């Protein structure tokens, strides 16, 4: 441990930073490959609509000024969308912000934070950063084992994270089972339901019968926090904007530690415009359902199994040499996501891209496995 690290909190000493998908520019530099496609970070391949672009262009004239620190216009639009009070909303620089705020507000060193094996990588990171103890519950069929999670709640449990659907597995929980679980959690424990892929999972074409909108339960469960993001179906990952919905008293606590200008003015304008253009979101969601069917069928024809997913990504079992397959795909100019760090050494997670991108991925995969 170097002298600087010795001065860090024990949480930070044990921390390993989040590993993002490989940037296109990095692959260009390192491998000298041109014409690269990136299917590694679950972004919307359609990008932004003309309506959102125009809103951002209008906003450019005002960037010398600080943004609205309260995000009034965006909160007003979100309150209308969800049928909640504006005081129930906490805006974030991505939904990663409210996920972290919950831990900083409710978790002290030594407390316990509960989440599933193969869960989103931000949960262990924010838990470790708070010098808290991560209690990781073994997965069942790649998804959440809610009975085991119930049984693992102790006096020290402060927060439970559940992504529905989960990233990277794409597995999901039905309304009845998740609602019963939330009802069983003692009120002193905060349950976070992370709905980053809500727009995809709630599309009937993906087949998630009974997939819930947990924001509808907020009136009944004051310890429930639901997070949503503009990074995925809304196509604004680069702008960083997301939010949580909760009891107003919880939102008040989260807002106390929220940096005052954590959502910039371009992001605020783009998010507001995005909410006015749900058609664009629907187009992306419809395309995703079609591409999911196509990519999983093609993987099956190659003799590969996958984990059924209701997100805009799917984990394909490419065998023991997944790391080698990942690397060979890089040489073909295709970036996907290795998930060994999620305890899934045989799988690669592929974001569904445009039809032509998925065709290139499938052709590259066929070549690499031959
Ligand atoms: C992508 C993702 C998020 C959202 O991240 P942002 O900070 O909103 O970009 C949250 N949770 C899960 C499970 C995700 O996959």
The CA 232 to ligand 1 mean position distance, Å, reads 8
How far does residue 43's CA lie from ligand 1's centre (Å)? 10
What domains, with CATH codes, occur in the chain?
Answer: 3-47+279-369 (3.90.1150.10), 50-277 (3.40.640.10)
For a ligand 1 pocket test, name from 18, 93, 94 the mutation site with the most ligand atoms within 8 angstroms of its C-beta: 94
Ligand 1 center to 366 CA (angstroms): 30
Nearest atom within ligand 1 for CA of residue 229: 8
Longest dimension (CA), the chain: 58
The β-bridge partners of 347 are 317
Q: Determine the atom of ligand 1 nearest the C-alpha atom of 96.
A: 7
Q: Please give the distance, rounded to the nearest whole angstrom, from the Cα atom of residue 11 to the centre of ligand 1.
A: 22
- Locate the ligand 1 atom nearest the alpha carbon of residue 93 and give its number: 7
Predicted confidence (pLDDT) per residue in 144-188, tens digit: 999 999 999 999 999 999 999 999 999 999 999 999 999 999 999
* 52 band by pLDDT with thresholds 50, 70 and 90: very high
pLDDT tens for residues 72-114? 999 999 999 999 999 999 999 999 999 999 999 999 999 999 9
Extended strands (E) in the chain: 37-38, 89-92, 112-116, 133-137, 157-163, 190-194, 224-229, 242-245, 306-307, 313-317, 334-335, 337-338, 347-351
Nearest in space to 356 (alpha carbons), one of 37, 49, 33, 48: 37
- 159: which DSSP letter? E
* Helix 96-106 vs helix 248-257: crossing angle, to nearest 10: 100
pLDDT band at 227 (very low <50, low <70, confident <90, very high): very high
Residue of minimum CA distance from atom 1 in ligand 1: 196
Nearest CA to ligand 1 atom 11: 196
Closest to 122 (Cα-Cα) out of 208, 194, 205, 18? 18
Q: Among 231, 244, 312, 352, which residue has the most ligand 1 atoms within 8 Å of its CB, making it the best to mutate? A: 231
Tell me the backbone φ, ψ of residue 347, rounded to 5 degrees.
Answer: -105, 155
Hey, what are 174's tokens?
């039905």
The answer to whether 221 and 29 have CB atoms below 8 angstroms apart is no
The 3-state DSSP class for residue 112 equals: strand
Distance 257 CA to ligand 1 centre (A): 20
Residues with CB under 6 A from ligand 1: 42, 94-96, 120, 163, 167, 194, 196, 229, 231-232, 237, 242
pLDDT at 20 over 90: no
Q: What mean pLDDT value characterizes the chain?
A: 96
> Which pLDDT value is given to residue 207?
85
pLDDT value at 27 more than 90: no
* pLDDT band of 21, cuts 50, 70, 90: confident
Atom 2 in ligand 1: residue holding the nearest Cα: 196
Residue 114: strand pairing partners: 135, 160
Q: Is 54 left (phi over 0), alpha (psi -120 to 50) or beta?
A: alpha
- Across 185-220, b (16+ Cβ under 10 Å) vs e yields beeebbbbbbbbbbbbbbbeebebeebbebbebbee
Query: What is the SS3 assignment for 272?
Result: helix
pLDDT band at 243 (very low <50, low <70, confident <90, very high): very high
**Closest ligand 1 atom to 232 CA:** 1
Asked if 241 contacts 271 with a C-beta cutoff of 8 angstroms, the reply is yes
Nearest atom in ligand 1 to 163's CA: 13
């Amino acid at each position: 441990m170097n002298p600087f690290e010795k001065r860090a909190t024990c949480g930070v000493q044990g921390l390993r930073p989040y590993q993002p998908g490989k940037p296109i520019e990095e692959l260009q530099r390192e491998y000298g490959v041109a014409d690269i496609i990136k299917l590694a970070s679950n972004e919307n391949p359609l990008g932004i609509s003309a309506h959102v672009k125009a809103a951002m262009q209008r906003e450019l004239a005002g960037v010398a000024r600080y943004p609205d620190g309260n995000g009034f216009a965006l909160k007003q639009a979100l309150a209308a969308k969800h049928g909640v009070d504006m005081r129930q909303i906490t805006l974030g620089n991505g939904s990663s912000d409210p996920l972290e705020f919950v831990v900083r507000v409710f978790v002290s060193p030594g407390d316990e934070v509960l989440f599933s094996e193969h869960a989103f990588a931000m949960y262990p990171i924010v838990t470790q950063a708070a010098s808290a103890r991560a209690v990781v519950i073994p997965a069942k069929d790649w998804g959440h084992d809610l009975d085991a999670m119930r049984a693992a709640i102790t006096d020290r449990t402060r927060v439970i994270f559940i992504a529905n659907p989960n990233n990277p597995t794409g597995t999901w929980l039905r309304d009845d089972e998740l609602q019963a679980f939330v009802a069983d959690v003692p009120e002193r424990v905060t349950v976070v339901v992370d709905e980053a892929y809500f727009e995809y999972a709630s599309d009937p074409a993906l087949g998630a019968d009974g997939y819930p909108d947990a924001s509808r339960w907020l009136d009944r469960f004051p310890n429930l926090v639901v997070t949503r993001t503009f990074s995925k179906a809304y196509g604004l990952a680069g702008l960083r904007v997301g939010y949580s919905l909760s009891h107003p008293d919880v939102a008040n606590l989260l807002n106390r530690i929220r940096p005052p200008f954590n959502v910039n003015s371009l992001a605020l304008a783009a998010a507001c415009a995005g909410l006015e253009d749900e058609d664009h979101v629907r187009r992306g969601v419809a395309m995703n359902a079609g591409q999911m069917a196509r990519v999983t069928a093609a993987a099956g024809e190659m003799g590969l199994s996958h984990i059924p997913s209701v997100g805009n990504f799917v984990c394909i079992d490419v065998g023991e040499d997944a790391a080698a397959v990942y690397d060979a795909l890089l040489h073909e100019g295709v970036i996907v996501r290795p998930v060994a760090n999620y305890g899934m050494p045989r799988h690669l997670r592929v974001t569904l891209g445009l039809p032509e991108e998925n065709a290139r991925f499938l052709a590259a995969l066929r070549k690499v496995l031959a």
